[in-house]
Every structure is written in C-alpha cells, then in structure tokens.
Amino acid sequence: MKIVFATNNLNKLSEIQSLVPNGIEILSLIDINCNEKLPETSLTLEGNALQKAKFVFDNYGYNCFADDTGLEIDALGGEPGVYSARYAGENCLAKDNIRKVLDKLKGEKVRGAKFRTVIALIINGKETLFEGECNGSIMQTKNGEEGFGYDPIFKPFGYNLTFAEMTKDEKGVISHRGKAVKKLILFLAATD
Ligand code: IMP
C-alpha cells in the first residue's frame, strides 16, 4: 500500500520511512507532485492534521497522513498550542518564540507544560487520529544545542536534561511525536 506523508519536513519523512512495516511505501508530497501549501487554518491540532490529510486525499486521491504538534504551557492557558510555529509572529525564528515564552513566564513559578502531537490518517476515506504527549516543564534559560523549536527550554519530567541536550534517539523514545508515530505504525502493521 502507498501512503503519502503530508509534510515538507524531510527529517520527519526519513524517520517514518525507516519504521513502517514492509508492504507500506511512504510517499512524499514531492513524489505526488504536490507543490501547494497545505491548508492549516483550524484552531486545534486535530483540525489542522485532518485538514492537511483530507486536502491530499481529496485533491490527489492518495491515502495519507499528516501531523500537527503544539507546546501547551499551563501558566499561559495552553498557549502557544496550535500557534507554536508562529507564536512570535509569521515567519519568526525559533529563538523569537523561545524569547516570547521566557518573557511571558518571567517570575512565574508554575512552569508545567506538555508537547502534544496529533496524527490524522485517512485510508479509503476513513479517518483515524493518533495522539502522543510528553509532559515536562519550561526552564528559566536555554540549555542544549540539539533538536529544534522549543527543545532548549523544555525539560521532560523525570529527566535532568532538556530535549536539546538529548540525542535524537533519546528524545524519540519519550517524545510526543515518537509516541504518536508508534501508535500509527502499530495501526498500519495491523491493517497491512
Ligand atoms: P509541527 O506541527 O510539527 O510543524 O510543529 C509546530 C511547531 O511546534 C514547530 O514549528 C515548533 O516550534 C514546535 N515543535 C513541534 N515539535 C517540537 C519538538 O519536538 N520540539 C520543540 N518544538 C517543537
């Protein structure tokens, strides 16, 4: 079976390609000649993931899955959430988003937060959602050089390191995305 992963992120693509069961071929957006920007206008992670997967299924006719991730900070009422990529403004950099979070949490003692990933899969029109969470806390300052996004300020519970101080493999085992992907892979293996 061929399934499109509706992402332009080549790291995510190669990560999944090595995990899927034999018999499933993951195609990229480039493979199906999709150069359009996928719609992502929902106010929820679930909505955005479904919107992207449905767009590919409806317009290109391929079974497809798409993901969406957000950092939900308790003291900020769940912000930045669905706006995680552009919290400090359209086309901002990760360091701008981090600065905004640290500024907003200045003096704040309650620093609990979680990353949440939702993957929406559409096979022959049937939609299934998979979710992964990673609970932790927001540091006072940045630590570490690995990873991306908010990794330098996110410390998962039970660890004395931020995500940016872990290797990709260490992070993958406990991360929100790692957990959601694992559920997707198990589902695909069972339906293969
Ligand atoms: P996306 O839905 O995977 O593109 O994630 C949206 C935004 O959430 C990214 O642009 C990052 O700012 C943030 N983000 C997602 N996953 C992670 C992660 O594993 N570590 C740190 N930041 C992340």
Any atom of ligand 1 within 6 Å of the Cβ of 150: yes
Atom of ligand 1 nearest to the CA of 151: 21
What is the Cα 190 distance to its own chain's centre? 23
pLDDT in the model for residue 19? 80
Phi, psi (degrees; rounded to nearest 5) at 72? -110, 115
Any atom of ligand 1 within 6 Å of the Cβ of 87: no
Any atom of ligand 1 within 6 Å of the Cβ of 32: no
Please choose, from the candidates 67, 58, 62, the residue with its C-alpha nearest in 3D space to the C-alpha of residue 31. Answer: 62
- Spell out the per-residue pLDDT of the chain, length 192, in tens: 899 999 988 878 887 887 888 888 999 999 999 999 999 999 999 999 999 999 999 999 999 999 999 999 999 999 999 999 999 999 999 999 999 999 999 999 999 999 999 999 999 999 999 999 999 999 999 999 998 999 999 999 999 999 999 998 899 899 999 999 999 999 998 886
- Type of residue numbered 166: M
Torsion of CA 123, 129, 130, 133, to 10 degrees: 150
Ligand 1 centre to CA of 70 (Å) is 6
Atom of ligand 1 nearest to the CA of 149: 22
Give the DSSP H or E segment for 180. helix 176-191
Ligand 1 centre to CA of 103 (Å) is 19
Ligand 1 atom 5, closest CA? 69
68 catalytically annotated: yes
pLDDT in the model for residue 192? 60
Q: Which domains does the chain have, with CATH numbers?
A: 2-191 (3.90.950.10)
Q: Taking phi first (over 0 means left), then psi (-120 to 50 degrees means alpha), and beta for anything else, what does residue 89 get?
A: left
Query: How much is the pTM?
Result: 0.94
- Type of residue numbered 123: I
CB atoms within 10 A of CB 144: 17
62 by DSSP, 3-state: which? coil
Any atom of ligand 1 within 6 Å of the Cβ of 79: no
